[in-house]
């Protein structure tokens, strides 16, 4: 579990201030709770899902790219500034397990999640990522473009669409026809998240995954799962995962 050894000092500081969360996290690690659910919705063994978690940090070129950009990234003083957090690793593992041909995500910013998703597609040897993001410098280092953290060698499978998701998502989904995985990581309001779910769900193939980052910010994820009567929906490390039932 090499990923657990990253940013030890930062995680130790967080543990001092959030002991209950840490205790729950330790229990989840011991019982493989996150991995077991991902295995259930993707149809591969739990041990295989677990093995995916160490891949990013064990890939020298990718680990080097993260460490190279870490100082620049931390200067932004973002609360979620952990390039090795399990919340992004669960999304990486889901892509590795599902082996999607087409992934659509909303929200790019520095490109942390995009980089992990693209590495997973690279390891799978197939698939393309379409990312919709705003040209908003608020959460970027001075002079940086959206997705600056994504290594050049992973960009061949990446199509970035700059603009508002409300103006781009519908036409992009119509153009693609069907997607294997949709990931929300843009504006985390109840209204916007619900809007994205409602628009992405029809384009999602049977057995595909709908993923929502920061799903605990409001009730939109579980409300949508109940509305669509989807039983395989759960929030892991703050990230919602929903499998669309087979027709």
CB 186 within 8 A of CB 107: yes
Domain of 112? Answer: 2-243
CB 213 within 8 A of CB 238: yes
Global pTM reads 0.89
Q: What is the pLDDT of residues 25-78, one digit of tens each?
A: 666 677 889 999 999 999 999 999 999 999 999 999 999 999 888 877 777 665
Number of domains in the chain: 1
CATH classification of the domain holding 9: 3.40.50.150
């Amino acid at each position: 579990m090499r990923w657990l050894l990253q940013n030890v000092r930062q995680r130790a500081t967080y543990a001092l201030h959030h002991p209950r969360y840490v205790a729950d996290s330790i229990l989840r690690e011991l019982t493989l709770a996150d991995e077991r659910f991902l295995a259930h919705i993707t149809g591969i063994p739990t041990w295989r899902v677990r093995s995916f978690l160490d891949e990013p940090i064990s890939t020298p070129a990718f680990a080097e790219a993260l460490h190279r950009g870490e100082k620049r990234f931390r200067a932004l003083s973002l609360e979620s500034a952990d390039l090795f957090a399990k919340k992004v690793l669960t999304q990486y593992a889901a892509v590795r397990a599902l082996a999607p041909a087409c992934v659509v995500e909303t929200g790019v910013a520095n490109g942390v999640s995009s980089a992990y998703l693209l590495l997973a597609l690279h390891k799978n040897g197939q698939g393309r990522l379409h990312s919709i993001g705003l040209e908003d410098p608020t959460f970027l280092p001075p002079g940086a473009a959206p997705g600056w953290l994504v290594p050049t060698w992973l960009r061949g499978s990446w199509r970035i669409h700059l603009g508002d998701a409300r103006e781009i998502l519908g036409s992009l989904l119509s153009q693609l026809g069907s997607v294997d995985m949709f990931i929300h990581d843009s504006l985390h309001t109840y209204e916007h998240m619900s809007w994205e779910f409602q628009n992405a769900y029809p384009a999602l193939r049977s057995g595909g995954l709908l993923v929502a980052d920061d799903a605990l910010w409001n009730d939109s994820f579980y409300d949508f799962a109940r509305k669509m009567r989807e039983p395989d929906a759960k929030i892991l490390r703050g990230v919602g995962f929903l499998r669309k039932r087979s027709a």
